[in-house]
Structure 1
Amino acid sequence: MNLKYFEYIVIYLSVLLVCVVAGTLARLSFLHKGGDEYTANIVFWSITAFSVLIYGIIILFLDVILVGIKKFIQKRKNSKNTLIKSVPANNLDEKIEVQETIINDNTSILFDEVPKENTLGQTSVLANLESIREVQLQEKQQIENQKLQAAIDYTRNQFALYVTDESLAAICNAISLYSKQEEIPHHTSVMTKELSNLDLYHFGWNIWNHFKPIKQEQVSKLLKTVFVSLDDIDVDTIKSHLKDEPKKGIIKIQENLTY
C-alpha cells in the first residue's frame, strides 16, 4: 500500500474514533441523567455526526484560519517593535527588559507555528507559491507598462512638430499594439512634414531596439503600415535601411529611449 494513502487512512480513522468516543460519552451522560435508550441512541448519532461536521468545516476553512493567525502574529510583532522604539534611549535597563520579554514571547510563537501534520505544511507552501506568482506577475506588468510609456513619450517628443495631433495619437496607438505584438490597422496613414524616410527608418530601429527581441520585420511592417511615404517600399527594403547613416537626419539612432 502507498505510504501516503496509509497516512490518510490513519488520520481519518483517528478522527472517526474521536467522534464516536464523543458520541458515546454524550450517550452515557444522557442515560446517567435518566434518559431512555431510544433518545440516547439519537444523542449518540447526533453528537458523532456533529463532530464529523465540525472537523470537515475546520479542514475547509483551514487556509482562512492560518491567514488570520499569521496576521495576528504579525500585528503582535509590529506592536512590540513599536513598544521598543517608544522606550527612551537613556532608560537602558527598561529597554533590555522589554527586548527579553519579546524574545521569550516570539520563541513561544514560533513553537506554536510548527504544523502538527504534513498537510498543514503543504497548504502553507502552496499559499506562499501563489502569493509569489501574483507578486511577480504584478512586477512584470509594471515593467512592461513603464517600457511602453517610455516609448510613447519618445514618440511624442520626436513627432510633435511634424504631424497633426490626430496622426500623433495614431502613431502612439500603433506603438502600443506593436509592443503587445498585435495587428496594426491598415487604414492608418500618417503624413509627415520635414521628416525624410531616413528619419522614419531611424525611428523604427530605435523602437525595435527598445522592445527587443521582437524581430525587425515587425517594426518594418509597422513603418510601412503607418507612414504614407513608405507605402510603396517593401518590408525587406525598409528592414535593410533601418540603421543607415545613424548620425544624420532629424531623428538619429538612439540606443536608450529613456535618455
Structure 2
Amino acid sequence: MEQRKIEHITLHLIVFGTIAIIGVLARQTVLHYGWDEFSSYLILVVCTIIMGAIYLNLQMVFRQLLSPTIEKCFRRFECYRNKAVVAENPIEHQESIENTIDPEPIVSESEPEIETTSDTTEEVSTLSLSESNEDMAGLPKEEVPPASISNIPIEVLNQLSEYEISRANAMAEKERASQEKLNKVIAYTKQTLVLYLDETALNRLCEYVTEYYLSDTMPKVEPIKVDSQLKTIDIMHFGWNIGKAFGKPRLQTTTFIKRVFAHTLRDSEISTIERKMSHTESVCKIKLDKKIT
C-alpha cells in the first residue's frame, strides 16, 4: 500500500509540474507579444486551471469508461484472469493450502520407526559386545603382544641423550676455540702491521685473513701495498706466522700472501716464497712467532 501511495503522489507531482511549466511558457509568450504584467499573470493562472481541469476530467473518463473496457479485453486472456482471481482471494487460498497439510500421520508413523531402529541398534551393539568379550576371553594370555617401547632398555635411551649432549658440547667448544684462535691472529695482525698500513688497508687485511681462515677456498682480494720499510722476508714471516697459527698448508698460505701483498712480493715466485718463509738468516722487522695462539 505504501509503495502504491508513493507512486500516485509521484505521478501527480509530475503532472502538476508539467502544468505549471506550460503556464509559465504561456505567460512568457504573452509578454513577448507586448501584454502587460497583470495580464501575463492572469494568463498563467487561467492556463493552470484549464490544464488541471482537463487532467482531472481525463482521469474520470479513464476510470469510468476506458478502464472497464480495457479490463474486459484483458480478461479474455487466461493468465490475466487467473492472476486477478488470486489477487482477489489471497486469504482463502492460503487457508485452503494450510488445510490440505496434515502433519499428524507423519508424526504417528515416524515414532514407531525410531523406536524400532533404536531397539535394533541396542540389540546389535549388545551382541557385538558379548561376542568381543567371548573372543577376548578365549585368547590365551601368551598371545598378547608386549609394548614395543619396553623392548628398548632405559640405559640405551639415556646413552643416546648423553651422546647428543656430549656432541653438542664438543661442537660448541670447538667453535669457541676456533673463534678464540681467529681473534688472536687478528690481534697479532693489527699489532704487527699497524705501523706500516693505514687504517683502511689494515681493516681490509683483517677481513682477508678472516675469510682465509673460515673458507676452504682462496678469497678474492685486492692487493695491499705496505710501507717500504717492510721487506720481502718480513711479509714471508708474517705469512708463516698466521699460517702456522691457523694450521693451514704452507703452499696455501704462500698463495694467499702472494695475492694480498702482490706489490711487495712481485719479484718472488711462489716456490721461492714457500721455501724461504721460515728462514731467519737475514735482518728483518717481523720475526717468526710460533706462539701466536
TM-score range, shorter chain: 0.5 to 0.7
- Superposed CA offset, 1:142-198 (max 9, x none): 111111111010001011111122211222122222223433344421011121111
1:246–1:252: 8 Å Cα contact kept in structure 2?
A: no
Name the CA distance, whole Å, in 2 between partners of 1:123 and 1:180: 36
Q: Which has the larger radius of gyration?
A: 2
Structure 2 stretches of 5 or more lacking a match? 1-120, 137-146
Written as runs of structure 1 = structure 2, the 5 A alignment for 1:1-259 is 36-40=122-126, 41=128, 117-193=151-227, 194-212=229-247, 214-227=248-261, 228-245=263-280, 248-258=283-293
1:36 Cα shift? Answer: 4.2
Q: Is the 8 A contact 1:170 1:188 kept in 2?
A: no
Which residue pairs with 2:95 in the alignment? none
For 1:97-138, what per-residue CA distance to the aligned partner results, in whole angstroms no more than 9, with x for missing partners? Answer: xxxxxxxxxxxxxxxxxxx65343322221211111111111
User: Is the alpha carbon distance of 1:178 and 1:42 closer, same or farther for their aligned partners in structure 2, counting shifts above 3 Å?
Assistant: farther
Looking at structure 2, the residues matched to 231 and 157 of structure 1 have their Cα atoms a distance apart, in angstroms, of 25
**RMSD of Structure 2 on Structure 1 (CA):** 2.9
Q: What does residue 98 of structure 2 align with?
A: none
Number of aligned residue pairs: give it: 157
Query: Contact 1:151–1:207 at 8 Å: present in 2 too?
Result: yes
Separation in structure 2 between the aligned mates of residue 245 and residue 119 of structure 1, nearest angstrom? 63
Q: Which runs of 4+ in 1 moved over 6 A?
A: 42-45
Q: For 1:192 and 1:140, locate their aligned partners in 2 and report how far apart those are by CA, in whole Å.
A: 34
Q: What CA deviation, in whole Å up to 9, does each residue of 1:15-38 have, x standing for no partner?
A: xxxxxxxxxxxxxxxxxxxx9454
Give the TM-score taking structure 2 as reference length: 0.47
Cα distance between partner residues in 2 of 1:202 and 1:150: 17
**1:229 counterpart SS class:** coil
Q: 1:255 to 1:39 in 2, by over 3 A?
A: same
> What's the CA shift for 1:223?
0.8
After TM superposition, the score normalised by the length of structure 1 is 0.53
Does the 8 A contact of 1:189 with 1:225 survive in 2? yes
1:233 Cα offset (Å): 2.3
Structure 1, unaligned runs of 5 or more: 1-34, 49-57, 63-115
Distance 1:44 1:141 in 2: 65
Percent identity among equivalent residues?
24
Deviations 1:211-233 (A, max 9, x none): 22x21101101110101211442
CA gap 1:153/1:232 in 2 versus in 1, 3 angstroms: same
